[in-house]
Structure 1
Amino acid sequence: MAERIADAICIFVGYLLATEIALAMHWGRIQVFPPGGASEAQSQYSSLLIFAILSWLTLTAYTETYQAHRTERLNFLARRLIQTLVVWSLVTIAAIFVLKFEFLSRQFTGYFITASMFLIFVRQLGTVLVLRSLRRSAHKWRTAVVIGGDEATCEHFAQLLTAAHPMGYQRVDVQPGKRAVDCNGNRVESDRDFKSASLEAIDDVYLIGVNDGGDGPASAGRMLSLLKQGKSVHIIPSLLDTRLFRQSLGDIAGIPVLSVSKGELSPVQAAVKRAVDFVVSALLLIVLSPVIAAIAVAVKLTSWGPALFRQKRLGLDGKPFTLFKFRTMRADAEQILKDSPSLYAKYLGNNFKLPNGEDPRLAPLGRFLRATSLDELPQLFNVLIGEMSLVGPRPIVPHEAVQYGDSAMLFMSAKPGMTGHWQVSGRSEIAEYRKRVELDLEYIRDQSFGKDLEILLRTVPAVLRRKGAN
């Protein structure tokens, strides 16, 4: 109820802002209440405000806007909110024409709808971000219990609710077994016996497993009993990790069905992305040609060996291609690594790289080129000929594919990019290779024009700050 009131206030404030904007933009000449019809005009403007508030409250009652979204990803939440706001604006505009509000100014209507949409969007997303920030800090308001499945499965899911994906739980108990997971994801002993004791101190109940003849953890009788106690009940049909896929929830004859699909662009979107890659890379090669030539000469003059470094990488569908970079290491870098077992062991133990400041293979200009990402400019040629894209997952060397495990095929379903989710998230600051893999796979799941634009806009400040570059 509080959120509904807050959004109604946002619409009212949007109405006031629209009035001020209209007056300011038109230097006081906008006729909000035309002469000779002030009372009727005032009635129409007031009706617009009342209808806008009522239509918003009615529409959101059918769109689950005010339901708890503790587990929903922020981008999905924002997308659904934008869709609701667009539908609300179209309904409001349609009502103006149907009701023939002839005294309403079109400029005023535009200002009103735009201001209201902006205020509601900021209010709702701001609330979500604040609550999630509080849940990740010391504000652990709720408790939960995971019931069903074997103990290892229960404890794994409990850790997802705490350390891996903090949701504001101070403690998550597990049944079977008298165990629990605290807010840091650590296993602790529990003094509760859920098979005999009540669940009065529990807020959320997660049931793992399907109905197996009426006695399973998700049986109708058990769920009804929990709901009567005022618990929030969540059913986990099976602990299948679908985070790497796009998901949609439907039902067949009342039985919930989770449908998954891999993230991919439509043929039209792929063609447009390829056209953008070709045009932008060609323009950048022309504009930056003096810089590229100067760097090539500098690399050649400061160290022995070719100016360009060529290496086999895996591209779309696992097809190998030759990646171009400016050489940042000595020409005998591979031999230096092989000649020193201790150095090679450190290289393997540090996710196929050496710690910053401890790499004897670097050429004189190597550190500077890496820190500024200028060593990657020749990859524009890879983009131009279609082996890479401006935005995509990291182009990995063949022996790294094993790090992706069963997800390797999914990873290679997208063309590698010059920049991507990993590059703008800190690059070498991300120590765990597993985290790098997750970032790449998250990009593939969420790939879209909007995602590419977001990454491109984040790339520039990331390069200027030299974030994670070494």
Structure 2
Amino acid sequence: MLRENGTLTLDLQKALDVIITVFSFIAAYFLKKYLLSKGVGGLSIAPNYYLILMLIIISWHISFKWMGLYMSYRERPFWDFFTAIVRSNLLGMIIVSIVMYALHIQGVSRLLMGVFLVLNICFLTLSKFVVFKTLERLRTDGFNTRSVLIVGSKERAKEVIRAIEKHKATGYRVIGCFEVEEQLLGETVENGHKVIGLIRDLETYLRHNIVDELIFAMPLKKIKKGDRYLALAEGMGIKVRIIPDWEIHYLMYRPNVATIRFESFLGVYNMSLQSTPRNEGAILIKNVLGYVGAFIITFLLLPVFIAIAVAIKRSSDGPVFYTQERLGMNGRKFKLYKFRTMVNDADKIRDALEEQNEMDGPVFKMKNDPRIIPGVGEFLRKTSLDELPQLFNVLKGQMCLVGPRPPIPKEVDEYSVWHRRRLSMKPGMTCLWQIAPNRNDLSFEEWMKLDLKYIDNWSLFNDFKILVLTARAVLTRSGR
């Protein structure tokens, strides 16, 4: 499991905050020395302000961490960021003052330090505000939303619904509520949200619907074998929140891969279990780099796109592109684009070839597939160039450059519970399976384990490494 404090994105956030702090001190220094009037302006040579700046960098770096500046942009109001910024700066000033006293550093301009403190609070607040509002606008416009299913329909469930409806800019959307009593089906809980199912049918619902988070908002003792449903959600990679009733001992459950935390969910305190990377900043950078990378690659390879299109049209009747319905993050449906490498009615012929499937599990693969267009189709598959149009899926926000490959709905219907956790991250054009030396000989179970290994050890550096190795796989024509 990726720890939030160990991600590259968190390091980038810290580095940016330190850069802003350094800039604020330099700005305060030049303002005091050169721009203020003679009565209050100017600075003496002593003390050494390079030493003071070094002490500030160390002290503020420590205070940012101690004061909890690096929190979720989705779940916390901006006021929390502002107060954390103020507290961090005040603590940093205290630490620097103590160190200067201990080292007998005298003569530091109090006005300079005061101007620096004000500038730093303003610049840090502005930077966090820009990021906060940008993410808020994206979620309000329907991007990066999260679907929430609530177990319960009484006061706790109503409190959660009210909190979500009050903070719509966070991007959370309530699907409905589940209950244990059949007579409650169809009843309205709050703001038009109804009881849409029973807890006993939870597995079926999670398999066939998009659920990003599952919130238990009822006394746990009322849920028979409640640990089974926690294990179910964990196995599928769905984040679980429990609104505490202080009777959690009714659930004798120990998560296998999920991390347990106590959090505030839009002001409602809860215990959460999450088995996927939770750093939203890291995911944001991953997506932004994906958009930029996809745009650049598409632009550079435009002549290749045209050449492939011409070759397909001259070799086979039918369209250049092949579209197929796939499932994305937590089961979101989308149309995946590929260059067509098979005859025009390949999907109809597949049923007749089912007995020759060389892959165990629900995936279909065949070494000498008669549906492949001779020459062009074989070349595109060997080099994996048939996957290039998926850059359009990346630009549409449906996929990333790196991530578990998106399955077709029919395959997912045959998944075991633990297989579904591979849907807990946005799918990608390439992943660990694509760069495995013997990928065509791997079993379906081994393929799934590679995808889960990617999720559990995800980092931006690993994504970069996979992209480099994928380029090598394309050049060595190891595809099928």
- Coarse TM-score class (shorter-chain normalised): 0.3 to 0.5
Structure with greater contact order relative to length (CA < 8 Å, sep ≥ 6): 2
**Structure of higher CA gyration radius:** 1
